A and B are shown apart, each in its own frame.
Chain A
Amino acid sequence: MVTHYPSMSPDELAKQWDATTPKLFGYLVNVLRDKALAEDILQSTWLKALQALPRYQPRNKFEAWLFAIARNECKQHWRGGNREVPMDPEAHDIPDDRSSQQHDSILVDQIMAKMTEDDRELLRLRYIADLSMNEIAAILKINIIAVRVRVHRALKRAQHYV
């Protein structure tokens, strides 16, 4: 049974879950390099979001808001003395059975490993979370033009690594 929240109906919430969770989980796995930890953070993110839901303003995109919470949950996790662990794709990353996509994925993972954390974060938000430039700007609290420029530069650097 789904609890009723004043700002959003149970059906809407369930739809939001279905739409957002794959992106969010993929993002968290890529950030944290740990599936179990990503699940924990996913839960705490949703719990925090649901607690604050009565004050959620529908004019803001729910998805972007959820990602902002997730980012802060990650920060809090690291602030608590936990540090990022090296990625072990065999054990933790999501398996991919499509051969060409698997090849792309490995290639991009190698490229990402060479990039700065700022670039990685931008590209994660842009391509895993599938957020718009506006939403990324709102989450990172920077100008949308700056986001465009930074994404463009990050891609250029990525191109260079290819």
Chain B
Amino acid sequence: MSKNIKELFSSWGSSKRQPPEHNEILKNKILSRPPLPDEALAKAGTRHLPWLSFAFAGLAVIMLFVNFVNYEPEVTLLSSRNYQTGGSSGSKIAQPQALNESAIAPDYYPYPGNDVDITDTREFLKTGYHAAIRTRDISDLSQQVRNIVKGVDGRVDSLNISEKSGYISFAVPASKFDAFQTQIKGLVRSKFIIETINTQNLLPQKQSIEEAQETISTKLSVVRSQRSSLTATHNRTIANLNTQLASAQTEEERATIRTRIANENSSYSRKLSSLNAQISEYQAALDNTNKQDTKLINNVATVQGTISLQWISVWEVINLYAGPYWLPIILAIAACAAYFNYRRSLALPPMYSDTSR
């Protein structure tokens, strides 16, 4: 190669430089055109900042700030409503956030011991249910909830419906709770429902009732045994005294025996009435404990709950799906797009870019 690469390119470059075919015609035609009016150029020259980009960015910042100030976590928004006490029993079981031992256990239950033996694996689960549902149609959804409650043999305890919110408290059988819950969840998409399920094992109360039943039964059988023993002793004594009375020779002896019989009868009556009173008392206590046991069983077999309905705006629906910062994000993207568009126009030489607008 006789030439180096630079010379080769220089030679190539100069060989490429040639005027167009109709150079003179083009030259005269183009150079004789009147210039663009100064006002147009001046007007074009004033637009040299990416104002659109600034506007979008400013809006994005404002929306971000507004969202930051107003944003509440979704769970708080839905579950911090005022829950009314549900159920006809007056139990506080329907308050999902206030569910605690004192709310679960009725006052009349014997105080359960804290040391529940692990060998007792029985479960007496009391379930409380709350759902917060957001919907566009409160009345329609409340009707559907009522139908579901009726469909699982439950009952509606209270119902408050307005245009923007609704509240339903209900009780359903524990045996059909799973079906009920599935149907409730199927009413709306998962983003529109928040469920709270509280379950507590009432085994301590059950054990306490059982202990009381056992104690009372034991005492009752002891007293009954004492009563039987007393009667038998009394009968034997009376029979003995009657024998003595029949074999008595003198009137004085008969009088003495009759006095002893009277004393025996009197003592027996006193002791018998005392024992009878104790038996009645223990029997009543046993009946009461049995009632408590039945009530506990029934309580466990019932799920009480509440459903609060809240109207949701289209804006909130978008927020639910896209998160709280969707609008600032879109505005930021628009700002970037506007800026890149501006940069693209900047890629033209300054004067040219001015005139091209």
List chain A positions with a Cβ less than 8 A from chain B: 1-3, 5-6, 10, 13-14, 17-18, 21-23, 25-27, 29-30, 35, 38-39, 42-43, 46-56, 65, 68-69, 72, 75, 94, 96, 98, 101-102, 104-105, 107-109, 123, 126-128, 130, 141, 155, 158-159, 162
A69 & B348 in contact (Cβ 8 Å cutoff)? yes
Least CB distance, A6 to chain B, in whole angstroms: 8
Q: How far is the CA of A107 from the CA of B350 in the complex (A)?
A: 37
Q: How far is the CA of A107 from the CA of B8 in the complex (A)?
A: 9
B351 & A94 in contact (Cβ 8 Å cutoff)? no
B354 & A54 in contact (Cβ 8 Å cutoff)? no
A2 & B354 in contact (Cβ 8 Å cutoff)? no
A-B contact number at CB 8 A: 146
Q: How far is the CA of A158 from the CA of B355 in the complex (A)?
A: 38
Least CB distance, A95 to chain B, in whole angstroms: 9
Q: Which residues of A have CB within 8 Å of B6?
A: 155
B18 & A22 in contact (Cβ 8 Å cutoff)? yes
Least CB distance, B49 to chain A, in whole angstroms: 17
Least CB distance, B43 to chain A, in whole angstroms: 12
List chain B positions with a Cβ less than 8 A from chain A: 1, 3, 5-6, 8-23, 26-36, 38, 41, 45, 347-352, 354-356
Residue of B nearest to A107 (CB): B8
Q: A10-B31, A48-B356, A50-B30 are in contact. Are A94 and B15 (CB under 8 A)?
A: yes
Residue of A nearest to B352 (CB): A69
21 contacts between A and B (CB under 8 A): A2-B32, A21-B27, A27-B16, A39-B21, A39-B26, A43-B29, A50-B35, A52-B351, A54-B35, A54-B36, A54-B41, A55-B354, A69-B349, A72-B348, A94-B15, A98-B15, A102-B15, A108-B9, A127-B12, A155-B9, A158-B5
Q: Which residues of A have CB within 8 Å of B356?
A: 48
A105 & B12 in contact (Cβ 8 Å cutoff)? yes
B33 & A50 in contact (Cβ 8 Å cutoff)? yes
Q: Which residues of B have CB within 8 Å of A155?
A: 5-6, 9
Q: A48-B356, A162-B8 are in contact. List 16 more A-B contacts (CB 8 A).
A: A2-B31, A3-B31, A3-B35, A6-B35, A14-B31, A25-B17, A26-B17, A30-B16, A39-B22, A50-B30, A52-B36, A69-B348, A94-B18, A126-B9, A128-B17, A130-B17
B352 & A3 in contact (Cβ 8 Å cutoff)? no
Q: How far is the CA of A131 from the CA of B3 in the complex (A)?
A: 21
Q: Which residues of B have CB within 8 Å of A29?
A: 16
Q: How far is the CA of A56 from the CA of B9 in the complex (A)?
A: 32
B26 & A104 in contact (Cβ 8 Å cutoff)? no
Q: Which of A22, A53, A127 has the most CB of B within 10 A?
A: A127
A22 & B19 in contact (Cβ 8 Å cutoff)? yes
Q: How far is the CA of A52 from the CA of B349 in the complex (A)?
A: 10
B351 & A56 in contact (Cβ 8 Å cutoff)? yes
Least CB distance, B349 to chain A, in whole angstroms: 4
A128 & B16 in contact (Cβ 8 Å cutoff)? yes
Q: Which 7 A-B pairs have the closest CB atoms?
A: A127-B13, A52-B351, A108-B12, A26-B16, A68-B349, A22-B17, A51-B36
B27 & A3 in contact (Cβ 8 Å cutoff)? no
Least CB distance, A153 to chain B, in whole angstroms: 12
B18 & A55 in contact (Cβ 8 Å cutoff)? no
A5 & B35 in contact (Cβ 8 Å cutoff)? yes
Residue of B nearest to A5 (CB): B35
Q: How far is the CA of A80 from the CA of B12 in the complex (A)?
A: 31
Least CB distance, A106 to chain B, in whole angstroms: 9
Q: Which residues of B have CB within 8 Å of A27?
A: 16
Q: Which of B15, B30, B354 contacts A46, CB < 8 Å?
A: B30
A72 & B349 in contact (Cβ 8 Å cutoff)? yes
Q: Which residues of A have CB within 8 Å of B26?
A: 39, 42-43
Q: A3-B33, A50-B33, A55-B45 are in contact. Are A130 and B11 (CB under 8 A)?
A: no
Q: How far is the CA of A17 from the CA of B352 in the complex (A)?
A: 18
Q: A43-B30, A65-B351, A69-B352 are in contact. Are A104 and B11 (CB under 8 A)?
A: yes
Q: A17-B27, A127-B10 are in contact. Are A39 and B20 (CB under 8 A)?
A: yes
Q: Which residues of A have CB within 8 Å of B348?
A: 68-69, 72
B41 & A55 in contact (Cβ 8 Å cutoff)? yes
Q: How far is the CA of A61 from the CA of B192 in the complex (A)?
A: 66
